[in-house]
Amino acid sequence: MPLFERNWYRILSCLLAMLAGIGLVRYSYSPLIPSMLDHDWITASQAGYLGTVNFLGNLFGAIFCAMLARRFSAGTVCRASMLIGLASVFGSGFELGFTWLAACRFLAGLTAAGVMILAPVIAVAGVRQALRGTAIGTVFVGAGAGVIGLSLLLPYFIESGPSKGWIFTSVLVLICTILAWAGLSPRIKTDQPMIDDTQVPAGRKVMWIFFLAYLLAAVGIVPHSIYLSAYVHEALDQPVAFSTMVYAIYGAGVLVGGPLFGLLSNIIGTRLSLAASSLTGLIAVLIVLVTTDLWFVVASGAILGAAQMGIATCTTHLVMELVGPARHTRWWGRLTIGFNIGQASGALAMGVMIHVHWGYLAGFWMAAGCLLASAILTLFIRTTNQHAIGTQS
């Protein structure tokens, strides 16, 4: 039996793809911000603008990901995404100006889209329905593992500047790509209905509510996911090495968030688990708003990290419940487009807030409102509607 037909290896490959594409390619930028600020690679407002460019790349990738997967197969696109991510991280190690970094972050966004949309789909191919939530939660563990490992190791490589940190990250991405390659085979079928599906058709109104809820959750994630280390470094006056390692705590939350909220969805249902994820994120944001105690702020990173992966895990699982595996890639891609519109808008808004001297906390207030609204909207998502989309594109 080929390796890609073995469920355990295919899920492991998708975990490694998520580790590389999300944990390393996408989130290597955030813990490196303090070093790039100190060595004058970028300014604080440019950090937000680069985040916006990254999210625009993710948006572009999400728009075309499903189409490319249908044309070339999910495995082929996922492989290509990892190679693009490798090039983007390696290129970021050269100080060639803001425009160069922006181009690299755009490519990193393409990688994140391909992996985020396709890795869960590949992982559950051939997995029976009762185990799909567990499989998806396991795949998202890779993102947390990447963030933790990188945040703990980067301080040893950035004493003389961020360049070595980027190069080190590219080596890790290369290793993950090599190990995951066989499990992301183009021969994996991801567009066939499973024989044990009990899909209940959802309506377009439901999916648009879902789209808006996921978009607002994305805005709410922005301050912690991009600016937490910069906030700790500049607003709380902590050294670069410590500020960088803050993302190890954030990564610990990311690591447990997927399995934790995946388990919760088995107990209270995916919809309520998704709402709980958004409310957990709201708690993390409120901690930053009500206290400047360093360790409470750092702990909020772990809480937000868990909430973020809970939101992602529950969303992709709920899409599976609403439209079934055969249409999962298409609708998960559409929601990912909304997510990246939210993240790009949030990053741009926060960059402007900092530029006009409103400070970091203005962005956290924005996040609090968006996460609360997202949780409320999630409660309006129903699995039945008179206008079914089950057979619509």
- Provide the residue-wise pLDDT of the chain in tens; the chain has 393 residues: 555 567 778 888 899 999 998 889 988 887 888 888 888 898 877 887 888 888 888 888 888 877 887 788 888 888 999 999 999 999 999 988 889 999 999 999 888 888 888 888 888 776 666 666 677 778 878 887 888 888 888 888 888 889 999 999 999 999 999 999 988 876 666 554 443 444 445 567 788 888 999 999 999 999 988 888 888 887 888 887 787 778 788 888 888 887 888 788 878 888 899 999 999 999 999 999 999 899 999 999 999 999 998 998 888 888 877 876 666 667 777 888 888 888 888 888 888 888 888 888 999 999 999 999 999 999 888 754 433 444 344
pLDDT for res 391: 39
C-alpha distances out from residue 137 to 12, 266, 289, 314, Å: 12, 12, 30, 9
Cβ–Cβ under 8 Å, residues 253 and 306: yes
Query: Does 387 reside within a domain?
Result: no
Q: At 172, list the tokens.
A: 């890790």
Q: At 363, list the tokens.
A: 């962005």
Query: Does 134 reside within a domain?
Result: yes
Mutual orientation of helices 204-234 and 325-355 as an angle, nearest 10°?
40
Q: How many domains does the chain have?
A: 1
pLDDT for res 127: 67
Query: Does 206 reside within a domain?
Result: yes
Query: Does 268 reside within a domain?
Result: yes
Of 62, 317, 328, 335, whose CA–CA distance to 213 is shortest?
335
Cβ–Cβ under 8 Å, residues 251 and 147: yes
Contacts of 141 (CB under 8 A, 6+ apart): 15, 18, 255, 258, 259
Q: At 293, list the tokens.
A: 């105690």
Determine the Cα–Cα distance for residues 388 and 7; give it in Å rounded to an integer: 32
Neighbours of 291 (CB within 10 A): 12
CA 156-162-164 angle, to 5 degrees, is 60
Report the CATH number that the domain containing residue 181 is assigned in CATH.
1.20.1250.20
Model-level pTM? 0.74
Query: Does 388 reside within a domain?
Result: no
Query: Does 386 reside within a domain?
Result: no
Query: Does 393 reside within a domain?
Result: no
Determine the Cα–Cα distance for residues 241 and 233; give it in Å rounded to an integer: 9
pLDDT for res 228: 85
Domain that holds residue 268: 3-378
Note the Cα 66 to chain centre separation in Å: 17
pLDDT for res 63: 81
Can you tell me whether residue 192 is helix, strand or coil? coil
pLDDT for res 128: 66
Query: Does 384 reside within a domain?
Result: no
